[in-house]
Amino acid sequence: MPAAPIPENESSRLATLRHYSILDSLSQPEFDDASALAALICGTPVSLVSLIDQDRQWFKAATGTELTETPRSQSFCAHTLTTAKTLIVPDAQRDPRFADNPLVTGASHIRFYAGAPLVTPDGHALGTLCVLDSQPRRISAEQKAALQTLARSLISVMELGLRTRELQGSNRVLERISLTDPLTAVGNRLAFKQRMEE
């Protein structure tokens, strides 16, 4: 089984993934709903929001499976990282990249895979929104486009979470300053407000 190539920007990609503080986080309705909707749109029994860590792929959301992660070496999704393009595998048994993959030959019996990459604004592919089936199949151009749209919406959710955490951190700093030096705090608040308005 050929391993997925490691992206040239792997170090910065992993740093970006950790910056979002999403690995091993609790479930969120936005991700669960996107996973369920992807399965419904594509007519597949399984859908995942998969994030590719250094040695594993971890599932932020999963529809149709109890799995929470698998080794990166077995990951279909890892193959999307270098191209940041949607990967479609109509029949994994006939694809030399996946024919002897344990997820194909083992109990999971994966035959069909389609994964739209989760690409950040700065171009890092962190994982995918993917759909899977135990039967060979194809999806339409409309289904593929819907999968890609849902993937982009999940990046927007991640961006919003990141900005919220950054604002909360800034507010905590300002609160600490105001407790020690009220005059400095006023100036910092005005400067912070001006930056946010720019």
pLDDT tens by residue, the chain, 198 residues? 778 999 999 999 999 999 999 999 999 999 999 999 999 999 999 999 999 999 999 999 999 999 999 999 999 999 999 889 999 999 999 999 999 999 999 989 999 999 999 999 999 999 999 999 999 999 999 999 999 999 999 999 999 999 999 899 888 887 777 666 554 555 555 555 565 565
The pLDDT mean for the chain works out to 91
pLDDT value for 177: 72
pLDDT at residue 175, as a whole number: 77
pLDDT tens per residue across span 57-99? 999 999 999 999 999 999 999 999 988 999 999 999 999 999 9
**Which H/E stretch holds residue 162?**
helix 141-180
What pLDDT is recorded for position 53? 98
**Cα 39 from Cα 45, distance rounded (Å):** 6
Encoded tokens for 168: 């909360």
Q: Which tokens in the block code for residue 27?
A: 């479930």
Q: Indicate if the alpha-carbon torsion angle 128, 134, 136, 142 is positive or negative.
A: negative
| pLDDT for residue 192 | 52
pLDDT at 176: 78
DSSP-derived 3-state class of residue 92: helix
Structural contact between residues 80 and 125, judged by C-beta atoms closer than 8 angstroms = yes
Task: Determine which helix (DSSP H) or strand (DSSP E) holds 94, and give its type and residue range.
Answer: none
